[in-house]
Chain A
Amino acid sequence: AQKVTQAQTEISVVEKEDVTLDCVYETRDTTYYLFWYKQPPSGELVFLIRRNSFDEQNEISGRYSWNFQKSTSSFNFTITASQVVDSAVYFCALSENYGGSQGNLIFGKGTKLSVKP
């Protein structure tokens, strides 16, 4: 069965600190997709990144970076120099491959990040 585990329920940091959100997944598929979403207090899920299982290159986008390691089934997310606006719940998700594209998402329970000024 597919599963996503986000072991950190809540993290609190002070502004400008770096923070890493952990994500471990389980799947028997050889082709799958991994996602990170941000859910601010307004409730809308904001897409951050998608990775397919064949692309293990790490990615950096501004202050955000992602570390995908198939060997440990992990897809961790790091925010550098955190800001108060980064405060939100962050979800890692997994989807299987449906004919070459993503299927429905299986989410972790989320990590609530609080960035204090």
Chain B
Amino acid sequence: DTGVSQDPRHKITKRGQNVTFRCDPISEHNRLYWYRQTLGQGPEFLTYFQNEAQLEKSRLLSDRFSAERPKGSFSTLEIQRTEQGDSAMYLCASSLTGAQGYTFGSGTRLTVV
């Protein structure tokens, strides 16, 4: 197992376009999290899945954001009608219930121009 994979690593998009990111967690991990990190800040929680169920969403997750985790495996995060304020690093993490810590992916850096 190679850890948590995120694709793409970098994405540049024009304002108003839609973008989708993918996260492949560690295969046996039942929990999956999305975080957003802007420059000079710590990561901020966006949403959380336990298996295929989306159990929690942050108020940061506006209506333009949607996340899915079909079949409890990989997850996608879509941003519709991107805005310049969406420019950030989007991090995915996975864990096992009761486990020590989370394993983070390398992130997808989004730049909206």
Contacts and interface: CB of A to CB of B under 8 A. Distances in A.
Contact of A104 (B56, B106, B107): B56
Interface of B: 33, 35, 40-45, 48, 56, 89, 91, 93, 95, 97-107, 109
A100 B97 CA distance: 9
Given A35-B101, A44-B106, A102-B95, A107 B43 contact: yes
A93 B44 CA distance: 11
A47 B106 contact: no
A99 B40 CA distance: 32
Interface of A, secondary structure class, is strand
Given A43-B107, A47-B103, A101-B97, A107 B91 contact: no
Interface of A: 4, 35, 37, 42-47, 50, 91, 93, 100-110
A69 B108 CA distance: 36
B44 A107 contact: yes
Given A45-B91, A101-B99, A102-B95, A108 B104 contact: no
Nearest to B99: A101
Contacts of A47: 100-104
